[in-house]
Amino acid sequence: MWIRIVIAAVAGAVAGALLGRFTKCSTGGCPITGSPLGLALLGAVLGAVIATAFSNSRPAKPTVVQDKEIAMPQRTGLVTMKGNPVVLVGNEVQSGQMAPDFVAIDNDLKEVRLSSFRGKVVVLSAVPSLDTAVCSLETRRFNQEAAGLGDDVAILTISMDLPFAQKRWCGAEGIHAVKTLSDHRDAAFGMAYGVLIKDLRLLARAVFVVDRSGRVTYVQLVKEIATEPDYEAVLKAAREAVGK
């Protein structure tokens, strides 16, 4: 940007000097500046101003993540947020298919892959933000239910919250049985599971159960994001996956 501004300023100065040379400004009678040098300086300032305005008006280039989001499928008419329809970005995941692998960030800023839990049943709980009442209730409920599911089940709560915010929330709420992961960096989970909300860049409320072999055995996309999921259905699906 600065290179463009300097070039425009120089060009403006040259144009101003030439204009002064061929007009009455060359005799010192310029009604604006009174001298050719003044007109050259005025041209430089105007050139710099125009270059700055042009640079600021240019839209920012999309990031790599934004490019991926734009290229992803979009689905409508599936969920609402406080009654307002939202558009979901990403691939639809159905029961019976292999669970897409993804990378998210844990509370210690380390990358975590779904595939690292292979051999366990995994409950993937997607929520918009832990700092909202419903998401807080849901995550605390799964934290309580984790003991009854046993060590063969891993419960991962995924949101767009920053890892620092997730760590603070877990500490304040005494969450130990549920592992919270941040999808903020790449939205990799949101796009892979089709729960990324367009424009808002939050995750829709959804729960997926993945068996020991990495196959999806249960999908619950909550129709109204502001409501809690059907816990009993999720717990039943998790127990059935453990018993396989």
Q: What distance in Å separates the CA atoms of residue 20 and residue 28, rounded to the nearest whole number?
A: 9
Instruction: Kindly report, residue by residue over 196-216, the tens digit of the pLDDT.
Output: 999 999 999 999 999 999 999
- Architecture field, domain 64-242: 3-Layer(aba) Sandwich (3.40)
Which of residues 41 and 109 earns the better pLDDT score? 109
Catalytic residues: 135
Residue found under tokens 């009654």: 83
Which of residues 207 and 26 earns the better pLDDT score? 207
Max avg pLDDT among 7-11, 17-21, 55-59, 123-127 = 123-127
Instruction: Kindly report, residue by residue over 33-81, the tens digit of the pLDDT.
Output: 455 555 445 554 555 555 555 555 455 555 555 666 677 889 999 999 9
Residues forming a β-bridge with 94: none
**Strand spans (E) along the chain:** 74-75, 80-81, 84-85, 88-89, 103-105, 111-113, 121-126, 153-159, 178-182, 196-197, 202-203, 206-210, 216-221
Residue 208 identity (one-letter amino acid): F
Which of residues 24 and 170 earns the better pLDDT score? 170
Q: What distance in Å separates the CA atoms of residue 88 and residue 77, rounded to the nearest whole number?
A: 9
For the chain, give every residue range classified as CATH 3.40.30.10: 64-242
pLDDT at 71 (0 to 100): 79
The answer to pTM > 0.75 is: no
> What does the pLDDT average to over 3-28?
50
pLDDT at 70 (0 to 100): 72
Confidence of residue 174 (pLDDT cuts 50, 70, 90): very high
